[in-house]
A and B are shown apart, each in its own frame.
Chain A
């Protein structure tokens, strides 16, 4: 079974600064996908970024980028130029990559990020 661990329960960052959120995972799979989802106070789950394990290049989406270390099973999210609207819970998630029925997401417990004005 896969597990996703987010050991930091909460973090705080000053507006316009950079923050990194940590995530580690455990799997025996070689082919898989990793995700970061954001859950603002509205509780809507919003996809932030996605990484395919077979790709060596780290994914980026505007101010959001990841540091994917496959050997270390680490998948951290870097948020640059933090904005007040980034205040939310952030969840790291894992999905197996094999064909078949296993397209479910396995989530970590999440981290609460507060951006200070």
Chain B
């Protein structure tokens, strides 16, 4: 049973470009969470999605960031017009259902570097 998949593992963008990060949850998991880890920091929650729905986006920056989890295909975290401060590791986690009863399993992360 494959774990949570994220791609790319490393992404380099120049300032002003767009970054698209993909997350394929574990088989049978319909809940996806995105977290960001800045250097020397813990993970910070960004957004929680279920299929075709954004449940909680309280951790998402108001501008340039968006997320989706379509009926078919992976969840996408999109960052428009990237700036150097967006450089971080972005982790996706998935769970089978509500994480109060089910563990969140993490992917290996995407390390974004903005030049």
Contact = CB atoms under 8 A, between A and B. Distances in A.
Interface in B89-106: 89, 91, 93, 95, 98-100, 103-106
A103 interface: yes
A43 B111 CA distance: 10
A61 B51 CA distance: 33
B48 A103 contact: yes
Interface residues on A, range: 20 to 34
Contacts of A107: 35, 42-44
Contacts of B52: none
B100 A95 contact: yes
Chain B contact-residue range equals: 20 to 34
Minimum-distance CB pairs A-B, first 8: A107-B42, A45-B106, A104-B45, A103-B99, A101-B56, A107-B43, A109-B42, A101-B55
Contact of A102 (B35, B44, B56): B56
Contacts of A33: 100
Majority SS at the chain B contact face: strand
Given A33-B100, A42-B108, A50-B103, A105 B45 contact: yes
B33 A110 contact: no
Interface of A: 4, 6, 33, 37, 42-47, 50, 91, 95, 97, 99, 101-110
Contacts of A108: 42
- The secondary-structure label for the interface of chain A is loop
B31 interface: yes
Contacts of B109: 43-45
Contacts of B61: none
Contacts, number: 64
Nearest to B9: A43
Nearest to B40: A109
A109 B56 contact: no
B21 to A, nearest CB: 15
B91 A101 contact: no
A109 B41 contact: yes
B43 A91 contact: yes
B59 interface: yes
Contacts of B95: 103
20 contacts: A4-B42, A33-B100, A42-B108, A43-B108, A43-B111, A44-B109, A47-B103, A47-B105, A50-B103, A91-B43, A95-B99, A97-B100, A101-B56, A104-B33, A104-B48, A105-B33, A105-B43, A105-B45, A105-B99, A109-B42
